[in-house]
Structure 1
C-alpha cells in the first residue's frame, strides 16, 4: 500500500506542466479583479479570448494549488487584496517555473497613457507550509505580499513593503535529474538503518516527490516499505533503472492524458499522475485531457472536506472536553449524594444520645446503646467527642443531619442541571458530526466554547446597565460615581444630562462624579457642591491629602477627543473648589438607595 496521505498539487513536475497550460490559457488576457479566497489564497478574474477565466492561487498550508478554472471559486467579494492598487488594468504577460522547484514567476504588464509600459512581477512561493504571493516592482522592491517574514526562512529574508525582494535560492540537495549513477550509488552510504527507501530519496534528492519515489520502487518490483540500508547492489541497480524511466515519463513535453486515482470505497482522491501509474493497482482511475481540468475538478472538494474536518475537529475537541468535565462532575455529585443520604442516620444518633443522656457518663470516645426505632432493638455504636458533653454531641449530630439534608436538595438540583447539560452537549456533538459542509457548520453560529452564539447574544441583550456608586447629599441631591474608565464614559456621556454638574479632582487620576438635577429647578446649594466635590476628591489619587482642588462644571461644557482613552475629557470652562476628601455623613444609609436606577 503506498504511503500517500493526500494529493500534492504543487509537485515539481505538475507545476512544470501547469505553468505551460496556464500560459496558453491566459495568453493576451486582461486582469479584471483580484478576489481573496474564502480559505487562504486569491483568485484572479481574467478576461481571455475564450471568455472569463479564474487563475486560482491557493495558499493553504496543507493543500496549496495553482490552476485556471472556468467556474468561479469560493471567494470573498467584499474584501480587498494587497495587490488591487498596483495591478489595476494589468495584462497577463508570462508565467514560468524557476529552478525546477515550487517557485513560480508571473509577469504583468500595465500600459499607462502617461507613464507608458510598466512591468510588475509576482512570485508564488509554495515552500512547505508557508506559502506566499509577493508582488515586486521594476526596482525589485516589494509592493504587496500575502504573508510577512516566515518563521522557518533559513535565509532570514525581509518580506515587507519597500524591502528588496530576495529569492529563496536554489535547493541545497542534488536535483534528481542531474544525478549520475556513481553519485546515486554513493548516496546509499548515508542510508539510515530504519528509514524507508522512498523517504530516504525524498530527503536527499530535490525534484523527487514521495509519489514518484514510490513509483520508482514499485517499477523495480520491490516492496514500497523497503528499508534503504537493506538494498544489495543488484537491487540498487534496479532502482536506478526504474528511477530513470520515471524521470523520463515525468520529463516528457507532450501528454495525451492526465490520471486521477481515488479510493473507490471512500471516494477519496489520492494522486494525480502524468502517466498511468503502477502505484495504485486497486484504485479507481480517471483521465483528463489537461492538468488544469484535473486539478480544478478535485482541489475545491478536497479543500472543502479538509477545512470541514479541521473545523469539526476543533469544535468537537472543545465539546468533548466539556462532556468529560460534566461526566466527572456527575460522578462527584453521585458520591456526594450517597453521603447526603446518611442524614437520617446522623439524626438517629442524635436522638439516641438524647434519649440515653442520664444513663451515660461524660468523656467517652464512643457509646453502645439500644436502637429503640429498630424492630429488633439492635444495639448501635456511636462515636463521641470526649471534649464535649453528651448534649453538645447530640446537637452536633443534629447539625450534621440538617446540613446533609440541605445539601441533598442542592445536590439533586445540581444533578438535574448536570444531566440537562450532558444531554445538550451530546446533542451538540452529534449535530456537529452530522454537518456535511463548512457552510452548514458555520450556520450553527458556534462560539469558541462550543455554545450557540444566538443564545449568548440573547443573554447579553438582557443584561442591565452597570450599577454605579450612588450617594445622597444635602437637600436630597443624588450623586453618582464611575468605578473605571468605561463607567466614567457611560456616566458622563450617556447617562448625565447637559444641566447636571460634573466633578473631578484637579491634576489627579480619579472618578467622574455627577450631581444629578433630575429636572429640579431649584439652585444647588454651596453645601451640596462642597459635599459632591469631597466625594470626587475621595475617589481620586488625592484621597489622603489634607485639602485637594476639585474642578466642576456643567456637563454641557465637556468634550471627549476623538480616539481618546476611556474616561478622558476636556472642558471649555469650569470652577475650582478646595475641599477635604471624604464621603457624606449619610454615606452608610446611602447603600439602601443603590437599587434605584439612574
Structure 2
C-alpha cells in the first residue's frame, strides 16, 4: 500500500468508524489483526496486516476467524470496548494512528494510541499509552542491537521512524522538477543502469514504484512537459484529497484473476501491453479488500502448496530408491536357481576337483547342448565347501523371496498413492482444496503427532463431495478431487452397474457415470465425454490423446490395507480420447 492509497483509506475511515466501539479482536495469523467494530447499529471489521509480503488496512464485512495469538490477547485485555476517538495520518508518511479511549473500573478514561507503521518488512503495529508515550506492546519487537535509532519493546518510549531526506512532493514546482530531470540526464550519461523511475523515488518523498513509473511514462509521452503534467496532477489530487480508487486485475487461466495494482490515482501507464481489467470501485476500502483478498489467498495457496510438495517430493524420492533396491534384490533372487544348479554340478564333479582351484570347468547336464561351463570357486575352501556355499546362497535368496515380493508390492502401492497425491496437490485450484489434501495427508501418516496448531484452522466439510457434471445424454458424472474422494466415490457411492473410468497407467481422478436406471450399454457419447474428463483430471492432461480404461464398478475392487485411491481392475476396455472438460458442471 502506498501513502496515497492509505490517505484515501484514512479519509474514509475518519468518516465511517470514528466513535466506533471495538467489541471483538481476532487474528487470522500472527502478523494480522482484525478489529470488530460496532458503529451506528452495524458491525464492521477493520483488517490490518504487517506481514513482510503484504501490508494492508481496510474495512471488510467478511467474517473474522475465531482465533487469537498472544498479541491479540494483549489487545483484548487493553482495548476491547474502547472507542475510536480520532484517526490521523501525515500526508506523505505511511503511519496511521488510532486514538482510543476506554473507561476503567472507576469510570476514568484510559487513553491508548494504536500506531500502524507500513514500511515493508519493517512494518509494525504498536500499542502506546497516550499519557506517557510508553510502548505497551507491539507485533514486532526491535531491540537496541537491531536499531540504534529506536527500540520497540514494552516500556520503551515511542519514537516515530526517522524522516527520509527527500524533497517534499507538495513543494515541487515545474522549475524544480525540470532540475531533477536534468540531474537524472547527467547521471544517465555516466551510468548505463540509470533508471528514471528509480531516480524519482530516491529524490521525491512519498512516491511508490507504481506512481514513479506512471510519471516516467515509458509507453506514454516522455517529454519533460508531459512528465510534469503527470506529476502536477498527482500533486493536485493529494492537495485536494480527490482520490480515485483504481484496481487493476490481469485475466488468468480458467477465469482466475491476478491482482496487478492498487492505486488511489488513475493509471495510464500500467495497463500497457497487458490483458487487464481496470476497475473503479465505489470506495478505496472496497478496492483494497478485493485486491488483498485475491493476493493473500494466492500467497496462502502458494505457501501451502510448497509446504505440501516438499515432503511429498522427498517421500517419492525415498520410495523410488527403495523400489530400485528391491528390484535389484529381486533380480538376485531370480538367480537363485542358478546357484542351486552350480552347487549340484560341483557336487557331481567332486572327484575331479581339489582345494585351491579358482574355477571348475564342468559339463552342464541341465542344458540341452550339455556345454562346458566354468563355475567360480574360492581356493580357500574345498570343492564340497564351495558347493555348500552355493546351496546356502540359494536357500537365503529363496527364504527372502516372499518377503521381497511383499515389500516390493507395498512399495509400488506407496508410490502409486504418493504420485496420485502429488498430482492432486499440483492440480489443486484453490487454498480450500489444498487444506483438504493436507488433512488427508496427515490422516494417512498416523506416526506423526496429532497435535493441533492454533495457526492451522481445520478445513470446513465440503457442501458436497466430487466435481459433478451432466453428459449430453443426461447422465450424471462424478469426478474425485483427491485420493480420499476417489475412495469415497468408488467404494461408497458407486453401484455395481455404474461405469468406472480412470486414465491408463497414470495418476488421476476416479470418474463415475451413474447408471442407476441400468441402461446397457451407456451411450457412446456419454462414455467418451466421461473418458475425456478422466483424461483431463489426470497427470496426462497436456498430452495429445490419452488412453482411458472403463468398466462396470462390479469389476473394481480395493485390496485390503491399500492406500487411499488404490484399486484393482479385473477386466476393462480402453478408449483413446483428447483430455477436455467441456461438460456443464452441476
Q: Quick one: distance in 2 between partners of 1:398 and 1:151?
A: 76
| CA separation of 1:187 and 1:427: change in aligned 2, threshold 3 A | same
C-alpha displacement of 1:129: 2.2
What residue is the counterpart of 1:166 in the other structure? 159
Question: Do residues 63 (structure 1) and 50 (structure 2) align?
Answer: no
**Could you list the per-position Cα deviations for residues 8-58 of structure 1 after superposition, in whole angstroms to 9, with x for gaps in the alignment?**
xx2111112211111111133222232223573112222223632222212
| CA separation of 1:409 and 1:150: change in aligned 2, threshold 3 A | farther
8 Å contact from structure 2 (residues 143, 151) kept in 1: no
Query: Which residue, 186, 198, 211 being the options, matches 2:183?
Result: 186
**Could you list the per-position Cα deviations for residues 477-513 of structure 1 after superposition, in whole angstroms to 9, with x for gaps in the alignment?**
xxxxxxxxxxxxxxxxxxxxxxxxxxxxxxxxxxxxx
Q: Secondary structure at the match of 2:295?
A: helix
**Could you list the per-position Cα deviations for residues 541-576 of structure 1 after superposition, in whole angstroms to 9, with x for gaps in the alignment?**
xxxxxxxxxxxxxxxxxxxxxxxxxxxxxxxxxxxx
C-alpha displacement of 1:107: 1.2
Q: Quick one: distance in 2 between partners of 1:219 and 1:245?
A: 18
What residue is the counterpart of 2:443 in the other structure? 452
Query: Which residue, 8, 28, 41 being the options, matches 1:37?
Result: 28
**Could you list the per-position Cα deviations for residues 233-281 of structure 1 after superposition, in whole angstroms to 9, with x for gaps in the alignment?**
xx78478536624633652524374221111234222112233322104
Q: How does 1:471-550 map to 2 (within 5 A)?
A: none
Q: Secondary structure at the match of 1:129?
A: helix
| CA separation of 1:248 and 1:21: change in aligned 2, threshold 3 A | same
Q: Quick one: distance in 1 between partners of 2:388 and 2:199?
A: 80
Question: Do residues 140 (structure 1) and 137 (structure 2) align?
Answer: no
Q: How does 1:372-387 map to 2 (within 5 A)?
A: 372-387=365-380
Greater mean alpha carbon deviation, residues 427-436 or residues 236-245:
236-245
8 Å contact from structure 1 (residues 220, 239) kept in 2: no
- State the TM-score, normalizing by the size of structure 1: 0.65
What residue is the counterpart of 1:83 in the other structure? 75
Question: Do residues 104 (structure 1) and 96 (structure 2) align?
Answer: yes
Structure 2 stretches lacking a partner, 5+ long: 452-586
Greater mean alpha carbon deviation, residues 91-100 or residues 139-148:
91-100
| CA separation of 1:321 and 1:130: change in aligned 2, threshold 3 A | farther
C-alpha displacement of 1:151: 10
Query: Which residue, 343, 349, 354 being the options, matches 2:342?
Result: 349
Q: How does 1:103-502 map to 2 (within 5 A)?
A: 103-111=95-103, 114=106, 116-137=108-129, 138-149=131-142, 153-155=146-148, 157-172=150-165, 180-181=176-177, 182-187=179-184, 192-194=191-193, 197-199=196-198, 201-202=200-201, 206-218=205-217, 221=220, 237=224, 241=228, 244-245=231-232, 247-248=234-235, 251-255=238-242, 257-265=244-252, 266-278=256-268, 279-281=270-272, 282-444=275-437, 446=439, 450-452=441-443, 455-456=446-447
Q: Secondary structure at the match of 2:398?
A: helix
Q: Secondary structure at the match of 2:136?
A: strand
C-alpha displacement of 1:291: 0.5
Q: Quick one: distance in 2 between partners of 1:49 and 1:62?
A: 34
Q: Quick one: distance in 1 between partners of 2:96 and 2:27?
A: 19
C-alpha displacement of 1:131: 2.9
Q: Quick one: distance in 2 between partners of 1:411 and 1:45?
A: 61
C-alpha displacement of 1:213: 2.2
8 Å contact from structure 1 (residues 82, 146) kept in 2: no
Q: How does 1:549-564 map to 2 (within 5 A)?
A: none
Structure 1 stretches lacking a partner, 5+ long: 1-9, 223-234, 461-598
C-alpha displacement of 1:123: 0.9
Q: Quick one: distance in 1 between partners of 2:284 and 2:112?
A: 27
Q: Quick one: distance in 1 between partners of 2:437 and 2:197?
A: 44
Aligned Cα root-mean-square deviation (Å): 3.3
- State the TM-score, normalizing by the size of structure 2: 0.66
Greater mean alpha carbon deviation, residues 450-459 or residues 13-22:
450-459
C-alpha displacement of 1:201: 4.6
Q: Quick one: distance in 2 between partners of 1:238 and 1:324?
A: 61
8 Å contact from structure 2 (residues 28, 68) kept in 1: no
Query: Which residue, 6, 14, 17 being the options, matches 2:5?
Result: 14
C-alpha displacement of 1:420: 1.2
| CA separation of 1:407 and 1:453: change in aligned 2, threshold 3 A | closer
What residue is the counterpart of 1:544 in the other structure? none
| CA separation of 1:317 and 1:245: change in aligned 2, threshold 3 A | farther
Q: Quick one: distance in 2 between partners of 1:267 and 1:81?
A: 36
Q: Secondary structure at the match of 1:251?
A: helix
Larger Rg: 1
| CA separation of 1:453 and 1:345: change in aligned 2, threshold 3 A | closer
**Could you list the per-position Cα deviations for residues 433-467 of structure 1 after superposition, in whole angstroms to 9, with x for gaps in the alignment?**
455554554455649xx53268458999xxxxxxx
Q: Quick one: distance in 2 between partners of 1:339 and 1:203?
A: 70
Q: Secondary structure at the match of 1:369?
A: strand
Q: Secondary structure at the match of 2:182?
A: helix
**Could you list the per-position Cα deviations for residues 334-353 of structure 1 after superposition, in whole angstroms to 9, with x for gaps in the alignment?**
22322332212222221111
**Could you list the per-position Cα deviations for residues 385-422 of structure 1 after superposition, in whole angstroms to 9, with x for gaps in the alignment?**
11211111111222222223333333222211111111
Q: Quick one: distance in 1 between partners of 2:105 and 2:385?
A: 104
Q: Quick one: distance in 1 between partners of 2:267 and 2:233?
A: 10
| CA separation of 1:219 and 1:50: change in aligned 2, threshold 3 A | farther
Q: How does 1:564-579 map to 2 (within 5 A)?
A: none
Q: Quick one: distance in 2 between partners of 1:15 and 1:345?
A: 81
| CA separation of 1:389 and 1:459: change in aligned 2, threshold 3 A | farther
| CA separation of 1:435 and 1:144: change in aligned 2, threshold 3 A | same
